Amino acid sequence: MNPLLGLRRHPFDMEAHFDFSLVLAYALPAPALEPLLAPGLELDRVGDLGILAVALVQTRDLRPAGWPRALGLDFFLSGYRVFARLRDRPSIRGLRILRSDADSRLMTSAGNIFTRYRYELCSARASRHDHMLSVSVEGPAALCVEADLRPAASPPAGSPFRDLDEARRFAGPLPNTFGWEPETHSLVIVGSTRANWDPVPVTVDVTELAFLERFATFNPRLANAFYVENVDYRWKRGVREAVA
């Protein structure tokens, strides 16, 4: 077996601070998302629908747990994940990582050494004026989003969620992320903890989202959008679980 294989299992605890996190959730028919799951996972469904999350995160001081903040890395992340559960233990919910984009070459290089989160380099810009947040990303997964950060009164029009309480169950991130290690036919499960996590439902105007173009025939629907800021976040060391 490749002696470097264990490096990509998220081999040590990490911590960071989120200046802000804006997560958009899109509902698609289950057959659109099921092929994207790793063995051992099943969709975390809303009726006959699956949920794909787009996370836009301004990250500061990412570093191995216990290291000084001064040694941390600052970058912007746009990430694409599917809400999933362990098939044999459906009470364990998490996110299956599809793609990760960062505006730091060091982050994309290190991310692809220590994880299987598929990092790509992008150019990103985020700006805030009063209650409006604008985010744009240039690259293969280009996007352009404007968010009104004043609390929304209900989920977006056309959302499968009946109310905000139901929508909040799919306000990422979740306690776990699921990576896939084909060499050993195993899942790599990374747990996480966070402080001051109280996401606010917001209204968004999405004018470009290239990643969703591949799902155009499935008519993705914006299901919710949540915003949170000033959060300390910690990822645990990955745990490998073989899949029968």
CATH code for the domain in which residue 104 is found: 2.40.400.10
204-241 residue pLDDT tens: 999 999 999 999 999 999 999 999 999 999 999 999 99
156-203 residue pLDDT tens: 999 999 999 999 999 866 789 999 999 999 999 999 998 888 999 999
Tokens of 210: 């290239």
What's the pTM? 0.95
Say how many C-beta atoms besides its own lie within 10 A of residue 99's C-beta.
16
Give the structural domain span for 9: 5-242
- Cα separation of 84 and 107, whole Å? 26
Give pLDDT, residue 193: 92
Assess whether pLDDT exceeds 80 at residue 3.
no
Closest CA to 60 of 72, 68, 49: 72
Q: Number of folded domains in the chain?
A: 1
Confidence of residue 146 (pLDDT cuts 50, 70, 90): very high
Confidence of residue 1 (pLDDT cuts 50, 70, 90): low
* Gyration radius of the chain's alpha carbons: 17
